[in-house]
Structure 1
Amino acid sequence: MLIDERLEDLRKKINSKVPAGISISEVEFEGPELVIYTDDTKKFAEQADLIKVLARELRKRIVVRPNILEDPEKAATKVRAVVPESAGITDMFFDPDTGEVLVEAEKPGVVIGKNGATLRDITKEIGWTAKVVRTPPIESKTVKDIRQYLRSVKDERKEFLRRIGKRIHRDVRSKDKWVRVTTLGCCREVGRAAFLLSTPESKILIDCGEKPGSSSEGFPYLGVPEISPLSSLDAVVLTHAHLDHCAMIPLLYKYGFDGPVYSTPATRDLSAMLQLDYIDVVNKDGGVVPYSSKEVQEYLKHSITLNYGSVTDIAPDVKLTYHNAGHILGSAISHFHVGDGLYNIAFTGDFNYDKTRLFGPATVQFPRLEAVFMESTYGGSHDIQPSKKDAETKLYDIVNTTINRGGKIVIPAFAVGRSQEVMLTLEEGIRLEKIPKVKVYLDGMIKEATAIHTTYPEYLNPDLRTQIFKEGMNPFLAECFEQVDSSNLRQNVIDGDPCIIITTSGMLSGGPVMEYLRALAPEEKNCLVFVGYQADGTLGRRIQKGWKEIPLGRRETIMMNCEIQTVDGFSGHSDRKQLMRYVKHLQPRPERIFTIHGDEKNTIDLASSIYKNYHIQTVSPMNLETYRLV
C-alpha cells in the first residue's frame, strides 16, 4: 500500500471513531508520530481519553494539532489568564513541531489543576497542547539556545519530519527475514562506540563516538561497505551523551547522512553541549577538528527525542524503546523489537546496576529479549569496586590530609555524571563537617551540565528530587561551589588558599585540567585524584601507571611530584559483581550476550564467566565483525 493510501485509510478509521462535530482536515506522518490536524482541538481536549483510544486501536503515536496555531505571544497572554498567579509561571516554550507549549512553573500542580482540568482549559483556550514542568533551579544556557534554535528552523523541521515519517511507515517489501549486527568500534576497547543493526529493510546505527587518547584509531569504521553510503541509514540511535558514544554524530551530516538521531531529551541537550566543547578543546590543542558547529546544528535539526518506556516505530520493521541505564542523565538502554515478533535485541550503552546519589539502577525487565550487547568496562574478575560509602570515606580522608598540609586537590572528571556525583558528596561532607569548609571550584562545562540536570529532574532519583524541590535544599546551589569562567580567576585559584578543584576533562585529554596540572602537579603538597575510568592510551592512564615526567607538546614536560590517588566507587559503570548480577536478573533471560566496551581481557573474562555461570551463549566480538542473529 502506498503511503498516501495508508494515510487515507487511517483518516477514515479516525473519522469513524471521533464524535460528531469534530472534523479531521488532514492526517500526516511526521517522524514516528501520526499527526491529526483539525479545527476542533478544543473539542478534542474535552474528550479526555479519545487520543488514548485512537493510539491503542491504530497502534500509532498520535498527536492532535490545530490547523492554525495561535501566535505564541497572544497564546502566552491567554495561558497566564487561565492559570492562577500562584503557579508562578516563569517561562513558556512553544514548539511548532508538536503543537505543544511547555509551561515552566514554580508550582506545576497549580498549572495541571485537579485531574488535569487546567491543562485542558489551556488547550480549549489556545489550541496548543499544554505540558508543564517545574522551573529549573539553575538556568541552562544550552537548553535555552537549543529551544530557540529549533524554533528558528521550525519549517525545515516540519519538512524533515514529514519526509522521515513517510520513510518510517513505508511498506515492508522483502520476504527475507534476518537480523545482523556489524561492529564498527568499541569491541575489545573502550571508546568509538558504533554498531550497525541491519535487516532486509533497514539500517540503524547505534552510537557514533570517538576513542579518548587516540589519534590513529579515534574514529569508528564508517567507511565499510555495510554502512555506505551514509544516506542509506534509516536512523541513528544514541544511548547517552558521553563523547565516546556521541562525538562523531555531527560528522555523519558532513558526509551525507540526512536522517534522524533518536535520544532522550536530556541526552540531546548534553551531547550538543559536549560536541561544541569538543570542537573548542581540539581547536585549542591545535588538533584537526572533524566538523564544525554547523554540523552540530544539523544534528539538532534532525534530532527526535523519546522518553523512557515510549514504544516508537523508527523503521518499517523496527520499534525502539528506551529504558533507564542509570549511568548519566538521560542515559538509555536501547531495546529494539524487529519485525512482527521476529527478534528482540538490547544495547545497554554504558549502564550502572546500582542506586547512586543521582540515579536509580538500570532496568532489567523487558517484554522480550533474545540478545544483549552489554558494556564490560569493569568486566575483569578483579574489577571489584568498593561501596559508595567506602569511596566517599576515602575521598574525605584525602581531602582532609591534603588541606591540612596546605595543598590543593585537583579532581579531573567528566562534565556529565561523575562531576555531579562528586559535587553531592563534597557538599554533604562540608555540610556535615566531615571535611573542612573550603571552596570547591568548578572549571569547564561542569556548571552548565549541572544546570541541565536540574532542567530534567524526572531523570534524577526520587530522593534527590525531593531534596531539591520539596525540601528546598538544592545541594548544587551550595555556597561552597564557585564557577571558574576566566583565565584570571583560574590563576587566582592556583595562587590562592587550599581548595578543591573539579575540572574537565576526565581522562586528561585536554581542557582546563591541563592548566592546573602545569601549575600544581610539581608541588608535593598537592593531590591529583582520579574518580573515573582512565582508558588505555590516555594521559590519565599513564599517570595512574606511575609516569613522573609528562610530556606536553615537543618542548614542555610536567614533573608529577604531587600525590596521585585513585578513588574507585564513583564510576557510573557497573563493576564485575554488578555486571554478573545484572545478567542474573535479566528478564527474560537472553539467548546470546555480546560483551563490548572494555579492554580485551575484560570482555573475554566477562563473556567466559557469564557462560560458565548462566549457560548463556556469549561472544567477545572484535571490530569489523558481522553476526547474524536470525
Structure 2
Amino acid sequence: MSISGTEVNKMRLSFKEMKDAIAKIVPKEIEYEVDLEAGDIAIITPTPDSFGGGEGLVGKIAKKIKRRVVLRPHSSIMKDEKETEEFIRDLIEEVAGIDSIYFDACYCEVTVICNNPGEAVGKRGANAKAIRDKCGWMVKFERTPPIHSKTVHDIKGYRASHAKERRKLLKDFGLNIYRPKRPGSFWVRTTALGSYREVGRACHLVTTNESRVMIDVGVNIASDTDPMPYFTAPEALPMEKMDAVILTHAHLDHAGMLPVLFRYGYRGPVYCTPPTRDMMLLLQSDYLKVGGAEGKRAPYDMEDIRTCMRHVVDVDWGQTVDIAPDVKLTFHNAGHILGSSSVHLHVGDGKHNIVFSGDQKYEKSWLFDAANTRFPRCETLVIESTYGASGDFQPSREEANQELQDIVSRTIQRGGKMICPVFAVGRSQEVMIAIDELFRSGSVKPVPVYLDGMIQEATAIHSSHPNYLTQTLRKSLLKDDGNNPFTSDWFRPVQGREMRESIIMDSSPCIVLATSGMMNGGPVMNYFQNWAH
C-alpha cells in the first residue's frame, strides 16, 4: 500500500495534537497531565488506577496516538524517600531479604534489590500494590546479583541525584522529536565518519531532510595522532544541532569518543541498552586512567563522561522508540558483547529502513544468543566485516575448547603458569566459562585462576543484567544453585599490587587472566615480564 505525503503528515501528530486526542478519550472528571519522556508519552495522575492497564485508558490512548504511553504517579501522592523505604522494609524485609533500595524520581520508580523477588511481589502482586497505594511510587523488584558491581551502584546513585535535571532533559528531547514538520521532499543519506576500510573509530551519520542521527562514536586505539572520527566533516557540524546519538555497544572503538561530543556542545540524547550504559562508563573511565598513566592527554575528562551519563536514554531490545521527527529506532541482539545491538532505523514513516549491524556474532556463544538476522523491513544494510575475508574461518566452540584444554593440561602437568591476555568485556567471561567447564568436568585438575584488571568488575556487570545472557547462563545466575561459573572458588580477583607481586613470586601452577587483550599495556605486562624466559 502506498502512502502519500499528505497521509504521512496526518499520521504524524504534534505534541499539542496528541494532548487534544488524549483529552477526547479521558473522562473530564479524571485529573491528569501529559508530559514527554523523550519519545514516550507520559500520563501523570494522582489516580493511576483510573487509567487501568493495557486494556484500559492507557491502551486506548496508545492505540489512538500510535505512540508508547507510560503511566506515572503525580508528586502529590508520593511519600518522601525515607518514609517509603521504611514502609518497604517493614512490609517485606523478612520474606524478601532486601539488599538495597534505589529511588529514581525522574521516572517515579523505586527499585528493590532483594534475594527473593517472588516473595517480595507478594501473592497476586499484593505487596507491590500495597507499596503503590500507600507510598505512591511505582515499584520494581530485582534479584540480588551474585557479584556486586560498583559501577552499577554508582550509576543508579548518580542518576537518582540528578533526577530533576534528567526529567527536564527528557522533556526537551521529546519537544525536539515532536517539533513541527519542516517543509521539503523526503530524502535520506548515510555518511561515513570512521571505521570504513579501517579498524576502529566507528561512526556513521544518517541525515534526512528533517534530522541528523549519529550511530557510534568510537576511538582508533592504535593511533595516537588521529584517534577520532571525522567530526569536522560538514555534515557533522554543528554538533549541538544533532538530533540523537545511538550506540551499538560499549567497546571503545564504538563508544570511546562519545564524551568528546559533549565537550564540544552536544546536549541531545544518547540511546543505548542498559548494559551498554554501564559498560561504557567502566571502559571510558579506564581509558582516561590508562592514558593518564602513560602520560597521554585525553580529549575529554570525567566531567564530560558524567554529562554524557545524564543524557543517556535506556532502550531495551525489541522496544521501538521515536528518536527524531522522522526516525524510529529498534535495537536487536547482535551477540557480540553484553547489551550489544544491531540498529534498525525506520525512516520517514516507512519510506526507508536502514540496519547498522554493529559488531556481531552469527552463532550462539557461551554468553549470548546468536545475532538477530530477521528485521520487519530493510532496504539498506551496513554490516561489519572484521572477519569477512574469504579465508577468515573461525574454529568451532568444540575445537576451541579442546585446544584450550590441551594447553591448560600441558601447562599444569609440568608445574607451569599460564598467562591469558584477555579483553575485560566479553572475551574474559567466555574464557572463565570455558575454564570452569574444564575444571567441573574433571578434564583438567583445578588450580587457582587469578583475575586481574577490570575483569571482576566487568563480570559483575554481566551478573547485573541476566536478561541479556543465554537462557542457560541466566538460570545459573538467578538460581544460585552452585552452578554459577562466575562465582566458582577457583576464580580469585587480584586485589592490588601486593597480591599481584605475591602471585608472581609464588612457584605453584596457576592461570592468570589479565588485561589488556592486545598486550599493549595493563597488568598482563607485569606477569609476562616476570615469567617469560
TM-score w.r.t. the length of structure 1 is: 0.79
3-state DSSP of counterpart to 2:199:
coil
Cα displacement (A) at 1:303: 0.6
Shift of 1:116: 4.4
Alignment partner of 1:491 out of 493, 501, 506? 501
Alignment of 1:405-484 (within 5 A): 405-470=414-479, 472-473=481-482, 474-484=484-494
Contact 1:231 1:258 in 2 (8 A): yes
Relative distance call for 1:234 and 1:40 in structure 2 (3 A) is same
Q: Partner of 1:369 in structure 2?
A: 378
Q: Distance in 2 between matches of 1:17 and 1:512?
A: 62
Are residues 1:199 and 2:242 paired? Answer: no
Structure 1 CA distance, aligned partners of 2:121 and 2:204?
42
Query: Per-residue CA shift, 1:112-171, capped at 9, x if unaligned?
Result: 445545434432222221222211111110011111111111222122111111011112
User: Could you list the per-position Cα deviations for residues 46-87 of structure 1 after superposition, in whole angstroms to 9, with x for gaps in the alignment?
Assistant: 887443332232222222222313211212223345548423
Q: CA deviation at 1:7?
A: 3.8
Distance in 2, matches of 1:321 and 1:517, equals: 44
Distance 1:52 1:514 in 2: 58
Tell me how far apart the structure 2 counterparts of residues 293 and 172 of structure 1 sit (CA, whole Å): 37
Q: Is 1:58 matched with 2:65?
A: yes
The Cα of 1:288 is off from its aligned counterpart by 1.9
Does 2:519 match 1:519?
A: no
Q: Please point out which of 167, 173, 176 is paired with 1:167.
A: 176
Shift of 1:471: 5.6
SS of 1:184's partner is strand
Aligned-pair CA distance for 1:409: 1.2
Provide Cα deviations, 1:193-214, integer angstroms capped at 9, x if missing partner: 0000110111111001112222
Residue identity in the other structure for 1:482: R
The offset of 1:274, in angstroms, is 0.6
Deviations 1:360-415 (A, max 9, x none): 11111111111111111111111111111110110111111122233221111111
Give the drift of 1:220. Answer: 1.0
Query: By how many angstroms is 1:174 displaced?
Result: 2.9
- The counterpart of 1:30, out of the listed 3, 24, 37, is 37
Equivalence for 1:332:
341
SS of 2:295's equivalent? coil
Q: In the aligned structure 2, how far is the partner of 1:31 from the partner of 1:256?
A: 19
SS in 1 for 2:194: coil
Deviation at 1:218, TM superposition (A): 1.8
Q: 1:17 — aligned with what?
A: 25
**C-alpha offsets along residues 187-238 of structure 1, whole Å, 9 cap, x if unaligned?**
1122110000110111111001112222233211111111011112111100
User: Counterparts in 2 of 1:311-390, with a 5 A limit?
Assistant: 311-390=320-399
Residue 503 (structure 1) shift? 1.0
* Higher RCO (CA 8 Å, separation ≥ 6 residues): 1
Q: Secondary structure at the match of 1:453?
A: helix
| Matched-pair identity in % | 44
Could you tell which deviates more after superposition, 469-478 or 387-396? 469-478
Corresponding residue for 1:305?
314
Match of 1:188 in 2: 197
Question: Contact between 2:115 and 2:144, CA under 8 Å: does it hold in 1?
Answer: yes
Q: Secondary structure at the match of 1:430?
A: helix
Check conservation: 2:193, 2:202, Cα contact below 8 A.
Answer: yes
Q: 1:84 to 1:154 in 2, by over 3 A?
A: closer
CA shift digits 1:460-498 (9 cap, x unpaired): 111111122236222111110111131111111111122
User: Aligned partners of 1:12, 1:112: CA distance in 2, in Å?
Assistant: 37
Q: Count the aligned residue pairs.
A: 518
1:501 maps onto 2:512 in alignment: yes
Give the distance between the partners of 1:198 and 1:509, measured in 2 at CA. Answer: 37
Say whether 1:217 aligns with 2:226. yes
Shift in alpha-carbon separation, 1:78–1:8, aligned structure 2, 3 A: farther
**What's the counterpart of residue 269 of structure 2?**
260
Instruction: Tell me, in whole angstroms, the C-alpha distance in 1 between the residues paired with 2:298 and 2:425.
Output: 22
Counterpart of 2:164 (choices 144, 148, 155) is 155
Which residue of structure 2 aligns with residue 78 of structure 1?
Answer: 87
**Using a 3 Å threshold, how does the CA distance of structure 1 residues 58 and 85 change in structure 2: closer, same or farther?**
farther
Deviations 1:570-626 (A, max 9, x none): xxxxxxxxxxxxxxxxxxxxxxxxxxxxxxxxxxxxxxxxxxxxxxxxxxxxxxxxx
CA distance, structure 2, for counterparts of residue 417 and residue 389 of structure 1: 18
In structure 2, distance between residues paired with 1:269 and 1:241: 8
Answer yes or no: is 1:510 the counterpart of 2:517: no
Q: 1:87 aligns to what? A: 96
After superposition, the Cα gap between the structure-2 partners of 1:208 and 1:173, relative to the gap in structure 1 and judged at 3 Å, is same
Question: Cα gap change, 1:47/1:373 in structure 2, threshold over 3 Å: closer, same or farther?
Answer: closer
Paired letter, 2:525: M
Secondary structure in structure 2 of the residue aligned to 1:214: coil
Note closer, same or farther for the CA distance 1:480–1:306 as it changes in structure 2 (3 Å cut): same
| Structure-2 separation of matches of 1:447 and 1:49 | 46
CA contact (8 A) 1:212 1:509 kept: no
Alpha-carbon distance change, 125 to 49 in structure 1, aligned in 2, over 3 angstroms: farther
The Cα shift of 1:440 comes to: 0.6
Residue in 2 that maps onto 1:538: none
Distance 1:425 1:20 in 2: 62
Q: For structure 1, which segment, 379-388 or 103-112, has the greater mean C-alpha deviation from structure 2 after superposition?
A: 103-112
The one-character-per-residue Cα deviations of 1:228-258 (angstroms, maximum 9, x if unpaired) are: 1111211110000111111100111111111
Cα pair distance change 1:326/1:115, threshold 3 Å: farther
1:398 matched to 2:392: no
Unaligned runs of 5+ in 1: 524-630
Question: Aligned partners of 2:332 and 2:119: how far apart in 1?
Answer: 30
Q: Which one of the candidate residues 37, 46, 50 is aligned to 1:39?
A: 46
The answer as to whether partners of 2:14 and 2:180 remain within 8 angstroms in 1 is no
- Aligned partners of 1:47, 1:251: CA distance in 2, in Å? 41
In 2: Cα distance, 1:109 partner to 1:56 partner:
32
Moved more, 143-152 or 124-133: 124-133
Distance in structure 2 (CA, Å) of the matches to 1:453 and 1:125: 34
Displacement of 1:275:
0.3
What RMSD, in angstroms, separates the aligned Cα atoms of the two structures? 1.9
Distance 1:234 1:8 in 2: 20
Q: Which amino acid aligns with 1:211?
A: N
What secondary structure sits across from 2:69 in the alignment?
strand
Contact 1:348 1:373 in 2 (8 A): yes
Measured after TM superposition, the shift of residue 8 of structure 1 is 4.3
Q: Return closer, same or farther for 1:155/1:179 CA change in 2, 3 Å cut-off.
A: same
2:21–2:64 CA contact under 8 A, matched in 1: no
1:442–1:484 contact (8 Å) kept in structure 2: yes
Is residue 139 of structure 1 aligned with residue 156 of structure 2? no
Instruction: Find the aligned partners of 2:325 and 2:136 in 1 and give their Cα distance.
Output: 32
Gaps of 5+ in 2: 1-8
Relative to structure 1, the CA distance from residue 80 to residue 488 in structure 2 (aligned partners, 3 Å threshold; closer, same or farther) is closer
**1:100 corresponds to 2:117:** no
Cα distance in 2 for residues equivalent to 1:264 and 1:72: 27
User: How does the TM-score come out when normalised to structure 2?
Assistant: 0.93
Q: Distance in 1 between matches of 2:431 and 2:235?
A: 42
C-alpha distance in 1, partners of 2:510/2:41? 55
Is contact 1:182-1:195 (8 Å) kept? yes
- Residue deviations 1:252-284 (CA, integer Å, cap 9, x gap): 111111111110001001101110011001111
Local SS of the residue matching 1:253:
helix
Q: How far apart, CA to CA, are the structure 1 residues paired with 2:144 and 2:55?
A: 26
